[in-house]
Each structure stands twice: as C-alpha cells, then as structure tokens.
C-alpha cells in the first residue's frame, strides 16, 4: 500500500515512519526545503526518542522517502494523510485551518488516481466536510473519500503510542474510505488493537473531547492539590486513593505546575470556540482553561514564597531545572516554565536554568534567563532550586553536592519527584505540590 504524508512535523513524521515500519511504502512531504534536506541527511527536526533510528532503518529498507513536491509525493498513493499544523488563530483561539485547506486544494489539483484523503491534523468538527467540498470542486475526475483519523500519541512516547495504541479512531462516510483505512492499519488490526469506526464528525469531536477530558483531569487534581496544602492532606495519596477506582483510573492525576504543550492549551481553546459557534456552552472546559492559565504564575509565586516572599526575593538567584513542558521532548510550547520564570524575573529575581534538550529553543523565548551547561552550574550560588520538569536526570541529582553548591538549601519541587521526609532529613527546606 502506498501512503503520502503531507506535513513532516511531529505527527506526520512519527506516523510516516511507523507506517513505513508496518511495511507500507511511505512518502513524507513538506514545503520546508531545509527540513527535507536535513531528513535526507538523517537529521531529525524534533527530538523524539527512537525516531532517528526508525527513520534510518526504513529509509535504508527503501520504504520511506522525503520530498518537497506534493505532486510527486501523492502519485499512486492509496491514502493521502494531511498532517499539517492547526495552530490557534491569532486573536480568537479558533484552530487556523488555512494550511489544511491549502493542502486539500493542492491535492485536488494534482490527484492522479482514486484515493482516500485522511485528516490526521487535529481539526474542528466539520473540517472533513469542507475538505471533501474543496476536493469535489477541484474538478478531479478521480474517486476521493475524506476520512478523519485523529492521532493520540504523546510527545516523548510517540512511537510506542503509535504502535500500541489504546484505540484507533476512524471517521468515514463510505465503504471505500473504511476499506482503505482497514488496509492502512492492517498490522494493528491483526494485533487486535481496537479500531472504532464512526462518522466523520464524531471522529473529529472524539479527538477534542479526549484532550479536553485529560486536561480536566489534570486541572481537577491540581485544585485538589491546593486544597491538600490547606488541610494538611497528601495529594499523591489522594490520587492513588481515587485512581484505584476503575471508573476513575490512575493516569493523568499527577499534580504539578499546570499542563502545557502543543495540544491541550490549543485544543481546549478550539473546542470552546466550536461550542460557542454552535451555541452549546462547555462551562467545565471554560473553567479548566482559566484555572490552568492562572496556575502557571501561581507556581512562580510558590517559588517566591520559598525565597521569603515578594520583597525578600528581589536580587536573589533561582536555579530552574527543566524548561520543556514535559520530559523527553525539546518542545517549549506553552510550557509552565515560561510563566514561572517570568513571575520570578518580574520580581527582580535572577534566573539561571538548565534543561537537557530545551535550552536552544527556550533561549529566545526567555531572554532574561541565563542558560547553564549542567544542573550543578545552574545551582551554584543560587538561593533556591525549583524543579519544573521531571526529567530523569533531576530524579538522580547528587543532593549532597546540590546542598553544598546552594547558598541556602531551599528546594521547590513542582513535580513531586522527591520525598519530603528524605529531603528534610538531608537538611533541605523543601516545598512541593499538594503535600504536607
Ligand atoms: C497529549 C495527549 O496526551 C495525547 O494523547 C495527544 O495525542 C496529544 O496531546 C495531541 O493532541 O497531539 P502531549 O501534549 O504530548 O499529549 O503530552 P501529555 O503527556 O499529555 O502532557 C501534557 C501536559 O500535561 C504536560 O504539560 C504534562 O506535564 C501535564 N500533565 C500530564 C500533568 O501535569 N499531570 C499529569 O498527570 C499528566
């Protein structure tokens, strides 16, 4: 089966490499010449564990190619995936669909055979209808069916998520679309991964509902964490205690500095816009968005508290460990670290940061923050350390060295990766999230 993947960003590249690994013949297409040149040289545009190796082995096997020419890339393709970005539209939070529609037009103009066009980008309800209209009006004489196939992979664990999914969702309106998608996912079908066939609009909404629900779960536990601090309870035990109920489940109940990344912030906003357009308010999600936004700066204030409060903090130095929105990625989009650092620098605190992968991208986004070569360089002579992202490297810090290097042994752990008792026994003034 021949697959064309239009858009070689995060979702497109991971999906393309995994489809090639299933044995399909895949061509990844991107307008960015330098990205395609680098991919030809084996250089990945993003940091994702295992991706470079997967791309390399499939290129060598002749199953994975790259091009900037859409016409060339879609020739003979049975399935043409659209995996371009759908960023928040400036000003109103609506998903910006201009890239998706531009691809649909170009596909329509260049289609040389019958094909299924699949939206893998996260797109609001009704986008598939519009893509189908664009293709129908392009004058193509070939049969073309538009299918929605949202992606549920997590950055940092993307390849595992793609190859061992909890479910595959396919929104198709005709048998042609369903048949081609069954072939595309045949290896997972044989593996008994659950495949859910629904109509196209339902599939589009499933993606947003899933992300909004997960964002709600995180925000819920974050507010419970605040309450834990007030009443002397431990949020990790609360998470365990409620998560053991199968109806609730243990995942996405880790309290922290608020969710970030390229998906939850953008998708919750876009869902609110859809709800508004259809006059069907989703007040829970409105609250989630508001609470999460406020939380990021509140975490900055937590660090200020550890420095002795707003006034005392001026002129002091804080070491920020972790900048990316989560570990195992270099993605800085909507990372809580940005707001935490901003809150500190606004109060005249000097911030020195270290992140294993994110510093290059973070630098221009945080001009007032100095980047260090390693965690210990950041910590040297600081008045406090704040752990913002739970990279494995920070779980195994040499704490004696940290204590010696610090001016005062103050550690604020916004990801609850250390045990409060151990830290206090070592002589740290330790604060974390939602724990006594
Ligand atoms: C998320 C979803 O988990 C994926 O299923 C989805 O495919 C993806 O968005 C997308 O729409 O493309 P991702 O943004 O990579 O994936 O990251 P997550 O692992 O979901 O984490 C998102 C944020 O929530 C991070 O800032 C993380 O630190 C935070 N989080 C997560 C918590 O604060 N607590 C938790 O218990 C879990």
Q: How far apart are CA 130 and CA 173, in angstroms?
A: 14
Distance 154 CA to ligand 1 centre (A): 6
Domain 294-431 has CATH 3.40.50.720: yes
Residues 105-141 pLDDT 10s? 999 999 999 999 999 999 999 999 999 999 999 989 9
Q: How far apart are CA 213 and CA 282, in angstroms?
A: 12
pLDDT at 90 over 90: no
Q: How far apart are CA 335 and CA 258, in angstroms?
A: 9
Q: How far apart are CA 291 and CA 286, in angstroms?
A: 9
Please give the radius of gyration of the chain, using alpha carbons only, rounded to the nearest integer: 24
In angstroms, what CA-CA distances link 424 with 379, 410, 436?
18, 10, 12
pLDDT of residue 286: 98
3-state helix, strand, coil in the chain (%, to 5): 45, 15, 40
Residues 158-187 pLDDT 10s? 999 999 999 999 999 999 999 999 999 999
pLDDT of residue 92: 82
pLDDT over 90 for what percent of the chain? 95
On the question of a common fold for 2-198 and 294-431, the answer reads yes
> Is the CB of 261 within 6 Å of ligand 1?
yes
- And the tokens for 176? 């042609």
Q: Among 2.60.40.1120, 3.60.70.12, 3.40.50.360, 3.40.50.720, what is the CATH number of 2-198?
A: 3.40.50.720
Active site residues: 263
pLDDT of residue 281: 94
| For ligand 1, mutation pick of 7, 150, 256, 261 (most atoms within 8 Å of CB) | 261
pLDDT of residue 21: 97
pLDDT of residue 91: 73
pLDDT at 191 over 90: no
The whole-number average pLDDT for the span 308-333 is 96
Contacting residues for 153 by C-beta, under 8 A, at least 6 apart: 11, 14, 161, 162
Long-range CB contact pairs, 172-179, < 8 A, 24+: 172/145, 172/147, 172/148, 172/197, 172/199, 172/200, 173/132, 173/145, 173/146, 173/147, 173/199, 173/200, 174/145, 176/114, 176/116, 176/143, 176/145, 177/116, 177/145, 177/146, 177/147
Atom in ligand 1 nearest the alpha carbon of residue 157: 15
Buried b (16+ CB within 10 A) or exposed e, 118-134: bbbbbbbbebbebbbeb
Map out the domains of the chain as residue ranges. Answer: 2-198, 294-431
Atom in ligand 1 nearest the alpha carbon of residue 415: 33
Average pLDDT over the chain, rounded to whole? 96
Q: In which band, very low, low, confident or very high, does the pLDDT at 385 lie, cut at 50, 70 and 90?
A: very high
The whole-number average pLDDT for the span 142-159 is 95
The whole-number average pLDDT for the span 422-428 is 97
Atom in ligand 1 nearest the alpha carbon of residue 267: 11
């Amino acid at each position: 089966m021949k697959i064309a993947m239009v858009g070689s960003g995060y979702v497109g590249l991971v999906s393309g490499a995994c489809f090639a690994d299933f044995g399909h013949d895949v061509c990844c297409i991107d307008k960015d010449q330098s990205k395609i040149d680098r991919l030809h040289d084996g250089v990945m545009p993003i940091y994702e564990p295992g991706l470079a190796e997967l791309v390399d082995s499939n290129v060598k096997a002749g199953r994975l190619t790259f091009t900037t020419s859409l016409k060339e890339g879609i020739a003979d393709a049975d399935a043409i995936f659209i995996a371009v970005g759908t960023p928040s539209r400036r000003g109103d939070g609506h998903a910006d669909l201009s890239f998706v529609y531009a691809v649909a037009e170009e596909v329509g103009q260049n289609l040389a055979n019958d094909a299924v066009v699949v939206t893998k980008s996260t797109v609001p309800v009704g986008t598939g209808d519009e893509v189908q209209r664009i293709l129908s009006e392009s004058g193509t004489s070939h049969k073309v069916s538009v299918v929605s196939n949202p992606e549920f992979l997590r950055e940092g664990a993307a390849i595992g998520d793609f190859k061992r999914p909890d479910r595959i969702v396919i929104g198709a309106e005709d048998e042609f679309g369903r048949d081609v998608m069954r072939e595309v996912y045949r290896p997972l079908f044989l593996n008994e991964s659950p495949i859910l066939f629904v109509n196209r609009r339902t599939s589009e909404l499933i993606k947003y509902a899933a992300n909004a629900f997960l964002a709600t779960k995180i925000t819920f536990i974050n507010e419970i964490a605040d309450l834990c601090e007030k009443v002397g309870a431990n949020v990790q035990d609360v998470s365990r205690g409620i998560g053991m109920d199968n109806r609730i489940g243990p995942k996405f109940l880790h309290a922290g500095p608020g969710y970030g990344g390229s998906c939850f912030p953008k998708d919750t906003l876009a869902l609110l816009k859809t709800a508004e357009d259809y006059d069907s308010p989703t007040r829970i999600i409105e609250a989630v968005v508001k609470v999460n936004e406020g939380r990021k700066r509140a975490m900055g204030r937590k660090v200020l508290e550890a420095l002795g409060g707003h006034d005392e903090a001026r002129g002091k130095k804080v070491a920020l460990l972790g900048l990316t929105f989560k570990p195992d990625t270099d993605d800085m989009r909507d990372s809580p670290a940005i707001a935490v650092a901003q809150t500190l620098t606004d109060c005249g605190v000097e911030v020195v940061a270290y992140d294993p992968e994110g510093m290059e991208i973070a630098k221009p986004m945080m001009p007032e923050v100095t980047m260090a070569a390693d965690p210990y360089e950041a910590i040297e002579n600081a008045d406090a350390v704040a752990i913002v992202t739970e990279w494995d490297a920070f779980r195994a810090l040499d704490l004696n060295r940290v204590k010696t290097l610090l001016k005062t042994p103050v550690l604020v752990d916004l990801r609850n990766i250390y045990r409060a008792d151990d830290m206090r026994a070592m002589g740290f003034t330790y604060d974390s999230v939602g724990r006594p």
